[in-house]
A and B are shown apart, each in its own frame.
Chain A
Amino acid sequence: MGSSDSDDLFEVIGPDGSADPALDPGLPQGTLLAMLRAMRRIRAIDARMMMLQRQGRVSFYGECRGQEATPVAFAFATELTDWIFPALREGAIMLVRGFGLDSYLAQVYGNDLDELRGRQMPSHYASRSVAQVSWSSCIGTQVPHAVGAAWAAKLRGDRTVTVGFMGDGATSEADFHVAMNFAAVYRAPCVLCCQNNHWSISVPSDRQTASSTFAKKAVAYGMPGIRVNGNDVLALFRVASEAVERARSGGGPTFIEAFTYRMGAHSSSDDPSRYRDQRDVDEWARRDPVAVFERYLTAKGLWDAERGAALGAELDAEVLEAVRRVESHGPPAVLTMFDDVYAERPWHLEEQRQQIQNEDQRGEDG
């Protein structure tokens, strides 16, 4: 492990695409290419969804452009039985874990194909089938859940590990501190990963903490804190794998700060030109995690512009076709609104459901 001091930044891929052989995790070619494909697929989806949002076909969208390396690295570093607690930028982990694209996009549309039944805003993906737990929108609340689930797995003697994600802003919420403390006190088999993308909407990360790094916070709670280049998928993979392994083998939790940058707006509702300098964005664009990884693969002789263009065209076509199928679905049936409030509908919800049914009938009669 190249990094133990929480102020250091652990990196594998250099600016020219070369990698220190001592640090390179040495993944097989197939895995490397699958990682790239996963990153580019997320980017293709984000680009299409942002476009559809601007056209008014999608109500809202939160893209993760520039931050694709973290979800992909964790998807590859975990097993399918490990539980994922995402925040806004990591929802796509489930795609990498095999969840179908149509159902995934249906969540954005909230239509009758959506497993979440149109209940949640777009970009709030979850599915039990891939052990990705439902995220609310409330910043930081999922972090103690990740700890509790890990703790439960430990109490049950399961080998499951959980991963809880958050943004840098989330570290200001009480839930973050509670989670860190419980995780360390009970040596919960979890990995808590903060994507420090420098912004919480318009507030810069130096307004979230006066610490020199976020990773450092782990020290006071009594667990390893590792700061890793969040635009370097191999560095992330290595750090994540080691943390997952530590958790699985009884070594307790790890806190990871993925140092990255939010290339896009906070969400489709935001206009970052009001509060940040385009020069910073341009500077970070040179460290684009997809481009960095492609340089690495190119240096290894595994990639070139031609293959890049072909992959782009293939992914665009895949997304476009999926969008076409998903858009053919309508909203969930109105009466589904009363399902899932409780395991069984109590009398008052039966009554309210009946009322809306009567209204509908009256509406149809005239």
Chain B
Amino acid sequence: MAVMNIIQAVNDALRLEMRRDPSVLVMGEDVGKFGGVFRATVGLYDEFGPDRSIDTPLSEGGIIGTAIGMATYGLRPVAEIQFADYIFPAFDQIVNELAKLRYRSGGQYTAPMVIRAPCGGGIRGGHYHSQSPEAYFIHTAGLKVVMPSSPADAKGLLISSIRDPDPVVFFEPKRVYRGRPVEGRITPWDQDVPEGEHTVPLGEAALLREGRHVTLATYGAMVHESVEAARLVAKEGLEVEVIDLRTLWPVDVEALVGSVKKTGRFVVVHEAPRTCGFAAELVTLVSEKAFLHLEAPPARVTGWDTPFPCTLENDYMPMTPRIVDALRRTARF
């Protein structure tokens, strides 16, 4: 066991996989010599050289397009998009090409690869260093979508993603890269992460807190705001079951439905905007599969339907007070 933050855990996962499998490589803007603007690929250039730790030209479409070709040919690229906000120049390659290659070739061609992208707000990055675009990719058949909330999960999920036979979009919540919020302040991670081989299977949610009154599903940086909210309302006797989805798609539907059947109340928290956000899908799933168990309308606590603002980001994101509010309203309904 070793204490690591999320960046170090990602770095560890990449290094281990590159050692284990010579077809694994990392590529992207500033990822090689420099080791990435967030330092996630640090040291890989020294250990594996410029052919496996690749500084590309500044083109997301180029990175993903060529990574698809590499993956089709038999390599395992882990492509970094420097910020999730910059994934859109590659959107065509991801949605029309990567996601559909297996299907359109009748299963003959596939492009197993991972796209890593730091996402989410909280670093005063404004519109273009803060977005949470997961819903676009969840909506696209053929992609798996993952977002860890902790160092151990980041490592275990990334290793599983690299080994997965399907393309995985792996979002990393950058606000909690180096620490998690404790009473509003980002405090360095002190979590032990297993050294060496450590996998977390895709498709399995984590139960972070048991409770019998309300089920709260969330992921990424909002896990920490949600756990804090659950802790606060526990003082009022409100017991919240907190589920960290970890893999967004395919989602662990059993964990959700099982929990809601027990609590009868359902709250989803995510940072992305509300309209057509992932919460809409989760609420629908739960409504379809546990309708007769519901005792309150499911609630969504999300970013607002505006572009992500810079100065007012803490009013934009669904922070603990807003979650507490939703938990109370749902419990009282």
Contacts and interface: CB of A to CB of B under 8 A. Distances in A.
B325 A201 contact: no
B129 A137 contact: yes
A337 B304 contact: yes
A324 interface: no
Interface stretch (B55-63, B202-210, B280-288): B55-63
B34 A274 contact: yes
Interface string A161-198: 00000000110111100000000000000000000000
Interface in A101-140: 110-111, 118-121, 124, 136-140
A119 B275 contact: no
Contacts of A207: 55-57
Contact of A200 (B58, B60, B61, B62): B58
A317 interface: no
Contacts of B128: 121, 136-138
A179 to B, nearest CB: 13
Task: Identify the interface centre among A173, A200, A209, A359: most chain B CB within 10 Å of its CB.
Answer: A173
Given A118-B312, A120-B126, A208-B58, A341 B37 contact: no
A60 B124 contact: yes
Interface string B28-67: 0110011001000000000000000001111111100000
Size category of the B interface is 35 or more
Chain B interface, >50% SS class: loop
A331 interface: yes
Contact of A359 (B127, B316, B325): B325
B315 A334 contact: yes
Nearest to B54: A207
A119 B306 CA distance: 11
Contacts of A18: none
Contacts of B55: 202-203, 207
A356 B310 contact: no
B189 to A, nearest CB: 21
A20 to B, nearest CB: 36
Interface string A240-282: 0000000000000000000000000000011000110000000
Chain A interface, >50% SS class: loop
Interface string B80-98: 0000011011000000000
B108 interface: no
B304 A338 contact: yes
A173 B86 CA distance: 11
Nearest to B130: A121
A137 B29 contact: no
A341 B127 contact: no
Contacts of A203: 29-30, 34, 55, 57-58
Contact of B58 (A172, A331, A348): A172
B105 interface: no
A119 B309 CA distance: 5
Given A118-B312, A136-B127, A334-B312, 7 more contacts: A110-B310, A111-B311, A118-B311, A138-B86, A138-B89, A332-B311, A352-B305
25 contacts: A60-B124, A111-B311, A118-B311, A119-B309, A119-B310, A119-B311, A120-B126, A121-B126, A121-B310, A136-B128, A137-B85, A137-B129, A138-B88, A138-B89, A169-B57, A200-B29, A201-B29, A202-B55, A203-B29, A203-B34, A209-B57, A336-B312, A338-B306, A352-B304, A352-B305
Interface of B: 29-30, 33-34, 37, 55-62, 85-86, 88-89, 124-129, 274-275, 304-307, 309-312, 315-316, 321-322, 325
Question: What 9 pairs between A and B have smallest CB-CB spacing?
Answer: A118-B311, A202-B34, A137-B128, A172-B57, A121-B126, A169-B58, A110-B311, A59-B124, A172-B58
